[in-house]
Structure 1
Amino acid sequence: MKYKSYLIAILWGIQFCFTLPVSAQNTIQQQKDSLRRAIEQSDGTDKLRSYNRLYYLYMSEIADDRKMDTLLTLFGQTEAEAIRQGNVKMQGMVYGNTIISHINRNEYDKIIQKAPGYLDFYILHEQWKLYYQIHMQLITAYNLKGDYKKAAEEAKLMFDRAKARKDKAGMATALYATAITYNVQDRWKEEEDCFRECIRLLWEVSGYDNILTQAYAFLCSSLRAQGQYDKLLQLVPEYEKAIARFEKAAGRTQPEAWGNLYVALMNTYIDTKDYDKAGEYLAKLKGIVNNNISRYELARAKALILQSRGDYRKALAAIDSAAVEVQESEFDLNAVRKIKMEILTRMGRFDEAFTLFDTIIAANDTIKDVEINARFDELRTQYEVEKHIAEKERNLHYFLFTLGICLVLALLLTATFYYNRIIALKNHKLYERIKEQDRLANAVETAKATDTLSPSSEQKSLVMRLQEYLLSGENLSNADMNRDDIISALGTNRNTLTEAVKAVTGKSPMEYTRFLKIEEARRMLDSHPEFTIEAVAFSCGFNIPSTFYRLFRKQYGISPAEYRKMANSSPKK
């Protein structure tokens, strides 16, 4: 149920998509074009309705990153228009749909970033139903990131605000969120207490029957996890009344609500070995199967019931079907294997049963490793969250200043001009820094020439000979040249060369060779504008231009093309 809890929590939030119905037209694109024309030609509420319908179309396509970018732009335009018209209701709807869009893309960090500001807006304008729904999604985001402490803090804040207003629906929603946080941590007793109080409050309000029936489903799961089957069965009449109330208020049947009840009863009777009763509820479930009832659970239940009746051949087929439907975890797959092993044993197929037993043992080891890794992931996530909070507090004033500057620049410059300007300034500074390094290098060489201390004059001489050798003839362009070639040409040995180059330059011979090649390439970019960058790379011993680009940027912090552009635009000295 732990995995299902995530799904239900998210589905509950998705259902409050604040959109208006869209009439069917020939194609989605025709609808979009028509709505864009309507936006241009209309004003007031009609314009906001057209915006609403347009971004609704894009919300169905947000798996595409480009469509998501367009959708966020539309949200911004709708928000601006709503603010211009003073329509705070539409503004609140935009914020709600923004959060839903991020939920559907599993963008939990963005929900955590945006939701607090939206919640402040709802409080200011007393849009409390939207406030509770969005706060619920914020708590869900923290749970899905594994930050249960923060989720619990937000749920308590939500409860306290509702309690201050004596809002029973808000208090119940907060308790629901708190119970979900306990559920994902397997804290069954605390989850049970929260859901019982949540249910008590929801019976006293109207309009929240969907949450009420889901709370009963979770409560049944918690009681089953604790082995409290008598209490679960005592809960059934209340649960059925809640579903009946939901159907009366909605004006239609609620198969998902009945399905959750039947699944709880079917699994309860399987746990208590009452397979005849379990079979009754399995039969009921087959008549209302939908996407929210796990086919794996149905196949598993069918296999256990058939096994209890001695129909091992059909039980084996059913458990094989359950194995195909397993998508949640290796833990569930191992549970299926255990049932299959028992069926094979009862059929007398002992060799197959022993083979499956070995697989189960191996899988158990894997499950333990996964659990350990999951714990590490949880700790790592907590560390990242705390690190983010610390950085946010430390840089608060910096962010505010940067935000102000960005807002001013947005009014004065286009985004393209601003970007190019910043890049040009950065490249110019890097170019000046490189030239300054040249001057400093010359000064250092002069100082070294007069320095009688280490490195020794012999080492300096050897490095000078190495430099002359590398820069002479075709040596620089020889990509196949290696250390042995250099040692042979200089008439020295590996250790002497390595010690000399290290003492004089701080680099290994091959690092120094690469440094000289890049340095010579830079000089050629300065002095030979007629050469292409690829030609310069080949001339300096780089057969693969991409390697040259990477090493050049690593050494100077700027690409060869950017450097040449700066060199051509700077005055010659």
Structure 2
Amino acid sequence: MKNLLILLAFLTLFPMHPAAATSLVDSLRQLAPTLQGKDKHFALARIALTTNDIADWDSVIANARTLQDTVSLSMGLTNRIICLSNQAPIELLQTEVDKALSFLRSSRQFNYYFHTYRVYINTLFTARQREEAQQTATDMFEAARQEKQPLGMAMALQVQGSMYYQLNLYTKAMDALEEAYRVCPAYTSEINTLVTHALICEWLCMTALKLEDTGKLTTYADRYHENVEYRNEIRLGDPSGHFPVTAAAFRAQAMLRSGRQEEARVLLDHALTFMRPGIPARAYEHYYEARCEQLYRQADYTGALIAIDTLLNTHQGYFPFYLHDLLRKAEILAHQGKGVESTRLYSRYIAMQDSIERIEIAARMDKLQTLYEVDRLKTEQRNSFLWFLIATSSCTLTLIIFAGYIVYSRRLHRKNRILYQRYLEQEKMEERVLDAIEVLPINSLSKESQLFCQLSELMHEQKLFTNPNLKRKDLAELLHTNETYLANAIRTNTDGKNFHDYITDLKLKYASRLLIENDSLSVSEVGEKSGFNSSSTYFRVFRERFGMSPTYFRNISKEK
């Protein structure tokens, strides 16, 4: 597995020549079906690394699942993410990354876990989603801290520092990278630590060059060199020669800035012995930077231009580095006396810088527009949810009110039924009392009771109470008595009622009988027939007397 990891790193950074790659893939595709176990996995992985095709990585993953090989499966998932990062939209990539990270963390394959994280962060940064990239790097560091993985913490800080570097925030980059160096475990512990340590040292040297800090450049160049020496001790292969060449380049840069130009030249000449034909110049970019600087300081502008042109070809598409190379070439041309060409390059540099700034502004505007749309959608969703809550609450409240109304109506109906039954019982009782009074000898009653009996008989026969304008004086004359004596007779025989209450009570009793017995009359007509000259008075006193409206009284009287 150690050799496979080295091969993966090498092929990812420095792909093969197309013709050789095609021939190798064809041979491996024929060979793979005949292989078993790890041999088949290695062949499939070699095909996928060469083609960088998602379908081939899916084959690697499927085979690893068949073998139930967690390490091989993790390797396949990570490299599939690398493949997707170059092809898929960010939204799709994010979904795949989330699934891969979930598996890698749960299976505790932290080397692949943090490598996948780093690939995703770099993809976000390249897509100019810089805030998301910074936040994801913070999330990566926090995940590493929670899992107590110092190597993961170092990788998170390294990718954070590299982003600061590309944003020209060199002081911040140095702080992040030095913290990464501090938390990184000893590079002698494992291969991944060795590779991460070298990467951190590489970015530290690059940042020290930008800050023109010769002391730190010397320190970290020496530590990078120690890393390479340890590789040689453990016989860890480097097919490209990238690491010894890069170590020599940074040490040469430190020598040049210390005035040791000849030593730097000798060291760079020695670095040439590690460079391999067929390997892309990108593997040796730091060598060409150092060689350009060395030749420039020796006033060999022709040689310096050759080196800087190599860098320009290497850095096409990597704008921060390409612009630096362009500016450097303009300076060399100016020293060479080629003012027109130098001016043309300066103009091109300014135009590209402006173009990048416009792209940055456009990207920010797009992001602001996106944020606006997101906020608008969130507001709409929040408002929709609020209206949903209001509607739900209203419906719930309506249901509660309706249920309460039903309960109240049923209770009211039961109460009114009881009141109606009591009314009927009272009517029967009054009839029995009247019947009993009629059989009594008239001489046995008091004069007031005799007068009241005459009044009751008159009211029963002539229904005088139905006259809205009936006065106590009129009744007194009909009964051949005075008003005071009549009032006393009424008060004595009706538990203290006055004339008005007595007449109203007769009207209500008559109205109740009409409501029960005469369906041809409307409720209002019953009130008029009973002697009420005002409907409002009729309804009010009826409710006070019977505890319900005349309409309800009639309805309840019809129930069986």
**Which TM-score band applies after superposition, normalised by the shorter structure?**
0.5 to 0.7
1:321 aligns with 2:321: no
Measured in 2, the distance between the counterparts of 1:333 and 1:370 equals 15
Measured in 2, the distance between the counterparts of 1:151 and 1:77 equals 31
3-state DSSP of counterpart to 2:336: helix
Measured in 1, the distance between the counterparts of 2:373 and 2:9 equals 29
**What residue is the counterpart of 1:160 in the other structure?**
142
User: TM-score, normalised to structure 1's length?
Assistant: 0.52
Alignment equivalent of 1:122, drawn from 85, 101, 104: 104
State the Cα deviation string for residues 286-339 of structure 1 (Å, max 9, x = none): 3333541137425523531331xxxxxxx2431442354222335423321321
State the Cα deviation string for residues 429-455 of structure 1 (Å, max 9, x = none): xxxxxxxxxxxxxxxxxxxxxxxxxxx
Measured in 1, the distance between the counterparts of 2:33 and 2:377 equals 39
Q: How does 1:212-251 map to 2 (within 5 A)?
A: 212-251=197-236
**What residue is the counterpart of 2:524 in the other structure?**
none
**What residue is the counterpart of 1:275 in the other structure?**
261
**What residue is the counterpart of 1:300 in the other structure?**
292
**What residue is the counterpart of 1:56 in the other structure?**
46
Rg bigger for which structure?
2
1:269 CA drift (Å): 4.5
Alignment equivalent of 1:257, drawn from 238, 243, 248: 243
**What residue is the counterpart of 2:460 in the other structure?**
none
3-state DSSP of counterpart to 2:51: coil
1:25 CA drift (Å): 13
Measured in 2, the distance between the counterparts of 1:241 and 1:26 equals 38
CA 1:262–1:384 in structure 2 vs 1: closer, same or farther (change >3 Å)? farther
1:375 CA drift (Å): 1.6
**What residue is the counterpart of 1:338 in the other structure?**
331
Measured in 2, the distance between the counterparts of 1:34 and 1:245 equals 37
Which letter maps to 2:296? L
1:34 CA drift (Å): 4.2
Alignment equivalent of 1:74, drawn from 55, 59, 62: 59
Which letter maps to 2:46? Y
CA 1:238–1:390 in structure 2 vs 1: closer, same or farther (change >3 Å)? same
Measured in 1, the distance between the counterparts of 2:303 and 2:73 equals 52
1:76 CA drift (Å): 6.6
Alignment equivalent of 2:80, drawn from 87, 92, 98: 98
3-state DSSP of counterpart to 1:186: coil
**What residue is the counterpart of 2:169 in the other structure?**
187
8 Å contact kept, 1:59–1:101? no
Measured in 1, the distance between the counterparts of 2:290 and 2:40 equals 45
Identity %: 12
**What residue is the counterpart of 1:403 in the other structure?**
none
Measured in 2, the distance between the counterparts of 1:384 and 1:284 equals 54
Which letter maps to 1:342? H
Measured in 2, the distance between the counterparts of 1:181 and 1:25 equals 35
Measured in 2, the distance between the counterparts of 1:151 and 1:15 equals 22
Measured in 2, the distance between the counterparts of 1:217 and 1:180 equals 10
Which letter maps to 1:54? L
Measured in 2, the distance between the counterparts of 1:365 and 1:25 equals 42
Which letter maps to 2:214? Y
CA 1:284–1:107 in structure 2 vs 1: closer, same or farther (change >3 Å)? farther
State the Cα deviation string for residues 438-494 of structure 1 (Å, max 9, x = none): xxxxxxxxxxxxxxxxxxxxxxxxxxxxxxxxxxxxxxxxxxxxxxxxxxxxxxxxx
CA 1:305–1:30 in structure 2 vs 1: closer, same or farther (change >3 Å)? closer
1:138 aligns with 2:131: no
3-state DSSP of counterpart to 2:284: coil
1:131 CA drift (Å): 1.2
1:197 CA drift (Å): 2.2
1:355 aligns with 2:348: no
Measured in 2, the distance between the counterparts of 1:323 and 1:238 equals 27
Q: How does 1:430-445 map to 2 (within 5 A)?
A: none
Which letter maps to 1:336? K
**What residue is the counterpart of 1:369 in the other structure?**
354
CA 1:49–1:105 in structure 2 vs 1: closer, same or farther (change >3 Å)? farther
8 Å contact kept, 2:292–2:307? yes
CA 1:386–1:317 in structure 2 vs 1: closer, same or farther (change >3 Å)? same
Measured in 1, the distance between the counterparts of 2:84 and 2:117 equals 14
Measured in 1, the distance between the counterparts of 2:245 and 2:88 equals 27
1:188 CA drift (Å): 1.4
User: TM-score, normalised to structure 2's length?
Assistant: 0.53
Gaps of 5+ in 2: 1-7, 16-20, 316-321, 382-560
1:194 CA drift (Å): 2.0
Alignment equivalent of 1:177, drawn from 148, 151, 159: 159
Measured in 1, the distance between the counterparts of 2:62 and 2:363 equals 38
Superposed CA RMSD in Å reads 4.0
Measured in 2, the distance between the counterparts of 1:128 and 1:72 equals 20
1:99 CA drift (Å): 1.5
3-state DSSP of counterpart to 1:60: helix
State the Cα deviation string for residues 247-283 of structure 1 (Å, max 9, x = none): 3344457942332233223334445665344434333
Measured in 2, the distance between the counterparts of 1:286 and 1:61 equals 30
**What residue is the counterpart of 1:198 in the other structure?**
180
Measured in 1, the distance between the counterparts of 2:373 and 2:262 equals 55
CA 1:115–1:285 in structure 2 vs 1: closer, same or farther (change >3 Å)? same
CA 1:162–1:296 in structure 2 vs 1: closer, same or farther (change >3 Å)? closer
State the Cα deviation string for residues 34-62 of structure 1 (Å, max 9, x = none): 43466xxxxxxx46863663353244124
Measured in 1, the distance between the counterparts of 2:134 and 2:153 equals 14
1:96 CA drift (Å): 1.9
8 Å contact kept, 1:122–1:131? yes
CA 1:34–1:380 in structure 2 vs 1: closer, same or farther (change >3 Å)? farther
Which letter maps to 1:288? F
CA 1:247–1:119 in structure 2 vs 1: closer, same or farther (change >3 Å)? same
**What residue is the counterpart of 1:491 in the other structure?**
none
1:236 CA drift (Å): 4.3
CA 1:276–1:370 in structure 2 vs 1: closer, same or farther (change >3 Å)? farther
Q: How many residues align?
A: 351
Question: Structure 1 residues 153-162 or 284-293, which shifts more?
Answer: 284-293
**What residue is the counterpart of 2:32 in the other structure?**
35
